[in-house]
Amino acid sequence: MAGVQLQQVRKSYDGRTTVIHGIDLEIRHGEFVVFVGPSGCGKSTLLRMIAGLEGISGGEVRIDGQRVNELPPRSRDIAMVFQDYALYPHKTLYENMAFGLRLRNTPEDEIRRRVGDAAKLLRIDHMLERRPAALSGGQRQRVAIGRAIVREPKVFLFDEPLSNLDAQLRNEMRTEIKRLHQRLGATIIYVTHDQVEAMTLADRIAVLQAGHLMQYDTPEAVYNRPAAVFVAGFTGAPPMNLCSATLQGDAVDLGGALVQLPADLAERGRQAASLSFGVRPENVALQPVEGAQRVAATVSLLEPLGAETLVTLRGGERELVARASAAFRQPPGSPVDVHLLPQHLHLFDAATGAAL
């Protein structure tokens, strides 16, 4: 295991346009860190810079304390799992997993031991003589992960490894990767655009937007205390309700509906020229809650999901989405009372996007 440090890491392809903007990150020994963000935000580019597959335009990358900027990928003691598996179709699973070890002149009995141990860990030991064409997508990804495990690297890098799988297989493989990390205790850096993957897998999450690091924290902190309006809107399914708002004393006016704020939050709100208001759907209650304030609203849309129903509500000129029980049946057009707890309300500077 090893830690990874990024110090003011930058990337530009033409010397004029910067795609990675001075990122600082410290990934601890044995930590599972996920880079998450929308397509084109720079997360895979950043991972490839750590791997040595992309040049570094500025700053420094260290693995286990050693500067690796100029080292080729083979000298960085990392193993990478790609989105497309990258298996040799004419080789058996055993040969695919053993190939890298043979290139390093590893003794054959050591190869057998490592491949056997990895195959048992991934529950593919009964199919080592098969070829990739005979496997499902999930089984192929297990082989790709096994090929990385036998290397016994300092750091594992995963580049959107589940994006080619269907929804059920993604859920199964996500669980397998989580269990694998618990068993190996390895340092893992994992790239995904799926914020559900990020929340369920990570010890810490790095949220990126347009090559900038927006927040680096635990999943709980990223979800409940987003540092920027982008983070608030990107995390959660459905994401945080966000809308423009104006202050009236210690309350926000949502276009006709007044919501009282805690005094300290209102004071911070007065420091911004324009505001965005935010509240998570699970914190928009449709039943009375002790300590909550009541806001009149109207049901606009129902989206039954089986275990729960998403209810779109109109209060004043703004819409909010609430999580309700599956039994919620009030039709569109019905008046309802919305109950909001002050401690679950968020304000953001509309100009900068920063949380207040």
> What are 277-287's pLDDT values in tens digits?
999 999 999 99
Distance separating alpha carbons of residues 135 and 202, to the nearest angstrom = 28
Query: What local confidence, expressed as pLDDT, does residue 318 receive?
Result: 87
Distance separating alpha carbons of residues 28 and 185, to the nearest angstrom = 12
Determine the number of helices (DSSP H) and then strands (DSSP E) in the chain: 9, 20
CATH 3.40.50.300 maps onto the chain at 4-231
Q: Token pair of 100, please? A: 């890298």
- Please give the angle made by the CA atoms of 167, 170 and 171, to the nearest 5 degrees: 90
DSSP 50-106: HHTSS--SEEEEEETTEE-TTS-GGGS-EEEE-TT----TTS-HHHHHHHHHHHTT-
Q: Which helix (H) or strand (E) holds 217?
A: strand 212-217
pTM higher than the cut 0.85 = yes
Chain CA centroid to CA 286, Å: 30
Q: Domain spanning 238-349 has what CATH number?
A: 2.40.50.140
CATH 2.40.50.140 maps onto the chain at 238-349
Contact 84, 164 (CB under 8 A): yes
Look up residue 287 and give its DSSP letter: S
At 244, the pLDDT band (50, 70, 90 cuts) reads: very high
For 4-231, which CATH class?
alpha beta
Residues 55-94 have pLDDT tens digits of 999 999 999 999 999 999 999 999 999 888 889 999 999 9
The answer to whether residue 292 scores a pLDDT higher than 80 is: yes
Residues 298-338 have pLDDT tens digits of 999 999 999 999 999 998 888 999 999 999 989 999 999 99
